Amino acid sequence: MAGDSQKASPDPGQRGSPTRLERRVDALEQVLVQIYGPERLVLRAGKLQALKQLRSTDLGLKLLALEKLILDDPGITRVPTRREIPKILRQLEDELADMIARRTLEDELEKKIAERMQERHEEYVRDIRNQILKEDGGPETPETQKKLERLSRLDTIKLVGSALDVVRPQTLQEVVGQEPAVDSLLAKLASPYPQHVLLYGPPGIGKTTVARLVLDAAKKLQQSPFQSQAPFVEADGTTLRWDPREVTNPLLGSVHDPIYQGARRELAESGIPEPKTGLVTEAHGGVLFIDEIGEMDPILQNKLLKVLEDKRVHFDSPYYDPDDVNVPQYVHKLFQEGAPADFVMVGATTRQPEDIAPALRSRCAEIFFDPLSPRDIESIVERAGARLKLAVEPDAAKMISQYTLEGRRAVTLVVDAYSTAYLLHGRQPNRIGRDIIQRVISRARLPLVTQALTREPEPGRVFGLAVAGYQGMVLEIEASVFSAHQPGRGRWQFNDTAGSMAKDSVFNAQSCLRRVTGRDLSQYDIHINVVGGGRIDGPSAGVAIFVAVYSALTNTPVRTDTALTGELSLSGRVKPVGGIPEKLFGAGQAGLDRVIVPKDNGTDIPAGIQVPTVQLAGTVDEVLAEVLL
């Protein structure tokens, strides 16, 4: 036996890395650890006189210990030779697989038995309870009567109302800054053939309010298919999730099968499933408004698209028996015909169109809400103050517009100021000044949203344009040019945080500068900086970077009432870019008078825009002629 043990020992020269047999033996041991747990495995090995062998580094002894543990036989004493190890390993693996299968089946059976016993116990307790209630004359007890009385008392307590409800627009004429979106949505809903619609725009600008008011207006038009009682049902896409068990679905509806909690007792006891209709049926004949529809579960979106096409929701259940005489007629109707769901869907999102599922976009018209301007915010503040019967001083309204461009936030600040003034003076305030607004804003810790731009012209400084979400912003780009630290080995430096595409724009600008100026740029160290460390997502800052470096290189100042946008090609052409409406809005908000955009973006300029004025350019030579002083 000692000789066999020596034969099974691994070659000392091979101990540097585990052999395939050693890995299989180790894997077998790990499976046993998972089955029994480390402590129980040690106790079991001690009981079978295999603990010492299990801890041995000898492969044969360790396999002998595993053989005792798996076969539950302490009488096995022969140590296998290395030639016998593969065969014994296969036998032990097969035995271990059978053991795991048996344990899994036993666990499942025990779980089912426990569940069945629990069900029988609950049925037994319920039957006894019902019998006792019948004998006592009903379900009411002194305790339940007290709870009923408490609920009745709570119903008599009512607050005056929410201040936000008071200041919310009541008509479409009171909506500020969204006239094109309002007209577009009204045209799509008031038509004899209304369309499903997706509303895009930043948060807090009135998408939900506009949708509700447009439906109210559409009901009054003769050609509108909406009746006077057409519902407006709201849902939040962030809370709508697809349940793979299909037990519950508040959006589309689901079936409460008899075995699940939630089924009506009289149906559950008869084994009858009951369909529960969802929000799509509640919105039948009206509008289903889904806020943040871009956050909704993709599977649920696909289910919703099917409902939009069929205009009905269909239910199914293995418990439904169409020949059962105990099934109520409304259950038969829901299973056989489905629930009506003929509505117009209006979805709102703060995401970009490319982030929305193409299948959903293809079925909907798209409307874009504009960001609110500071003047719009001031108008909203004044109207909110009038609703609260107080005057908001112009300086106070202007201060609010400097700290937020969301209508909802602006109204909240007015309400906070109203409450603060009421608390300070102990009476209904009739005027809100800058001091109260300053107090409210400081407590809310709001940052400034308007940009303070330096208007003194200086070489190497230009204004570019960028887009963040639906908000345009002005980028202050500056450049400095020095003689090369090492002649002939000039270096270019640029913000690492600006993005890889912005760095490509720097390289394009370098080639164009060499073509336009004819200078050897290797004789200069050039540093380009985006003030504030802004990230430029795309090549649209190419022209601005070029002008900044050209201005610094030639020591020529640039006009500070003008912003630039456009991609720069190697030949000096100004190529079209995206986000033109948002960029124009951002330039106007920053107080700039003029914007230079690529000539090919001429059709993207919103109609009727007056400030800033728009200048089209096709080449960098045209840009330089417009901006250099």
d(Cα 462, Cα 475) in Å, to the nearest integer?
8
Q: Are 598 and 574 in contact (CB under 8 A)?
A: yes
Consecutive H or E run containing 467: strand 461-468
Question: Is 583 an annotated catalytic residue?
Answer: yes
Structure tokens at 571: 């030949």
Structure tokens at 99: 């053991």
Q: Are 403 and 441 in contact (CB under 8 A)?
A: yes
d(Cα 178, Cα 176) in Å, to the nearest integer?
6
Q: Are 402 and 198 in contact (CB under 8 A)?
A: no
d(Cα 414, Cα 426) in Å, to the nearest integer?
18
Pairing of strands 253-256, 613-617: unpaired
Task: Return the exposure string of 244-269: e unless at least 16 CB atoms fall within 10 Å of the residue's CB, then b.
Answer: eeeeebbbbbbbbbbeeeebeeebbe
Pairing of strands 471-483, 524-530: antiparallel
What Rg value do the Cα atoms of the chain yield, rounded? 37
d(Cα 435, Cα 416) in Å, to the nearest integer?
13
Q: Are 79 and 61 in contact (CB under 8 A)?
A: yes
d(Cα 368, Cα 185) in Å, to the nearest integer?
10
Q: What is the 3-state secondary structure (H, E, C) of 222-243?
A: CCCCCCCCCCEEEEECCCCCCC
Structure tokens at 477: 């780009």
DSSP designation for 446? P
**The CA-based dihedral angle spanning residues 322, 328, 330, 333, taken in that order and rounded to the nearest 10 degrees:** 10
d(Cα 284, Cα 311) in Å, to the nearest integer?
9
How many residues comprise the chain? 629
Cα 283 to Cα 314, 339, 342, 434, distances in angstroms: 16, 12, 8, 45
Consecutive H or E run containing 554: helix 542-554
Phi/psi of residue 198, nearest 5 degrees:
-115, 130
Q: Are 501 and 535 in contact (CB under 8 A)?
A: no
Cα 175 to Cα 346, 369, 608, distances in angstroms: 18, 12, 19
DSSP designation for 342? -
Cα 389 to Cα 296, 384, 586, 607, distances in angstroms: 40, 9, 33, 37
Structure tokens at 402: 């400097």
Closest listed residue to residue 173, CA positions, set 383, 349, 404: 383
Structure tokens at 309: 């096409």
Closest listed residue to residue 251, CA positions, set 237, 262, 265, 261: 237
Task: Tell me which residues are annotated as active site.
Answer: 540, 583
